[in-house]
Amino acid sequence: MRLITFEDSVRRSRVGALTPDGRVVDLNSACALYLRNIENEGSFYRLADALVSPHMRELFAGGDTSLEAARKALDYVLENDSVTGPRGEPIFYSADEIFMRAPIVPRKFFHASGFRNVDAIIGHEEPVIYPEHLTQELDGEVELAVVLKKCGKHFASDDASSYIGGYVVFNHLTARDIQRREMQSGTSGFCHGIDTFCPLGPWIVTADEIPDPHQLTMELRVNGEPRQSSSSSKMAVKIPEILSHYSPMNYSAGDVLSTSPGAGTFNGDPKARYLKVGDVMECEIEGIGILRNHIISWEEAYGRKPAALATQETRS
């Protein structure tokens, strides 16, 4: 399944699945219909809320039970694609009837260089706001991220696959000039954690649809031109080892862990690699899809110039 978070016409947050023809199925309503019509369940809405929550993190908290219930509901409505929900609510939506959001906002976002700011997460086609008063060297990298489907801690790499619920594309944005200053002072995090610096999407592909996550081509394009080409086969440390390594920090269901970008090739003039206002970034991973975000200025986002901020200069 390709799982998305979307808002309907009245801005309710819902969990959906993409159909082969590009429509979106409301999985919670589909599950309620399946429970009523196939399982003859009287409390079909209440049970659907428990099995296939309209919130992605809660769906993954249900583990295999919830993911399988979502799949059954999806298969059922695809066989009867003119159906509506038990109360007559729509189950199928076209792309122009919904607002896509980041597929998931985890409790914790693990990364090799430290936790990511979950409040900075944005979704597919949402803008990255360029803070020109903070950085002049904004850089991006395409990375494969893992979504966990159950809680766990202190487990071996041999057990790691049972925790993987799906995969998603992550655009690892970094303010390189800030990063250099942080490295000198021994601090870390701010260069990655600025608002909107965490694009994630466009959807979550469930683990059963990615037979080997270590054989996926990956590419970052800026304005249609390839900037970074790589493959998940080039990861120095494989996904089970990464998951096991961080497991003493205690995973929650729905947490996200980003892998390293792997050895890749940077295409183009190194001096021109930094992003600028107006650029369109496309991060593509084979078998998952394309995460697209454009960069806008601070003034376009907020209608004013940024306020002067306190700075932390590195002292020798």
One domain, residues 45 and 125: no
Q: Give the integer Cα–Cα distance in Å for 251 and 49.
A: 23
Is the separation of the CB atoms in 89 and 233 below 8 Å?
A: no
Report the largest interatomic distance among the alpha carbons of the chain, rounded to a whole angstrom.
72
One domain, residues 73 and 205: no
Q: Give the integer Cα–Cα distance in Å for 300 and 55.
A: 31
Name the domain boundary from 64, 99, 134: 99
Residue 92 within any structural domain of the chain: yes
One domain, residues 53 and 114: no
Residue 310 within any structural domain of the chain: no
CA distances 181 to 130, 185, 310, Å, are 19, 6, 15
Write down the mean pLDDT value for the chain: 92
Residue 306 within any structural domain of the chain: no
Q: Is the pLDDT of residue 263 over 90?
A: no
One domain, residues 42 and 129: no
**In this structure, what CATH number is given to the domain that contains residue 93?**
2.30.30.230
pLDDT tens, position by position, 109-168: 999 878 999 999 999 999 999 999 999 999 999 999 999 999 999 999 999 999 999 999
One domain, residues 150 and 264: yes
pLDDT tens, position by position, 13-68: 999 999 999 999 999 999 999 999 999 999 999 999 999 999 999 999 999 999 99
- pLDDT score at 261: 64
301 C-beta neighbours (distance < 10 Å), count: 15
Domain that holds residue 25: 2-99
Name the domain boundary from 83, 99, 115: 99
My answer on whether omega of the bond before 131 falls inside 30° of 0, hence cis, is no
| Torsion angle defined by CA atoms of residues 53, 252, 125 and 6, in that order, rounded to the nearest 10 degrees | 10
**In this structure, what CATH number is given to the domain that contains residue 113?**
3.90.850.10
Where would I find the H helices in 218-308? 239-246, 298-302
Tell me which of 139-153, 235-249, 251-265 is least confident: 251-265
Name the domain boundary from 47, 64, 99: 99
Residue 316 within any structural domain of the chain: no
